[in-house]
Amino acid sequence: MNPQTTVLNLIRAAMLMAIGLYMFIGEKIAVDRLSASPVVFQAIAAITIMTVVALFVLRRMLVLPAVATLQASPNDARALGRWRAGYIVSYALCEALALYGFALRVLGFPFSEVVLFYIASVGLLLYYRPQLPQPEPLASNPSM
7 part of a folded domain: yes
DSSP string across 57-121:
HHIIIIIHHHHHHHHH-TT-HHHHHHHHHHHHHHHHHHHHHHHHHHHHHHTT--HHHHHHHHHHH
63 part of a folded domain: yes
Residue span of the structural domain in which 85 resides: 3-30+37-127
Cα 46 off chain centre by: 17
Quote the CA–CA distance of 19 and 136 in Å, as a whole number: 37
Residues 27, 105 contacting (CB under 8 angstroms): yes
76 part of a folded domain: yes
144 part of a folded domain: no
132 part of a folded domain: no
Q: Is the pLDDT of residue 143 over 60?
A: no
Q: How many domains would you assign to the chain?
A: 1
82 part of a folded domain: yes
Residue 134 is predicted with a pLDDT of: 73
139 part of a folded domain: no
Least confident among 1-5, 17-21, 56-60? 1-5
Entry pTM? 0.86
Sequence-separated (6 or more) residues with CB below 8 Å from residue 69: 76, 79, 82
Residues 121, 19 contacting (CB under 8 angstroms): yes
67 part of a folded domain: yes
Using one digit for the tens of pLDDT, what is the confidence trace for 26-38?
999 887 666 678 8
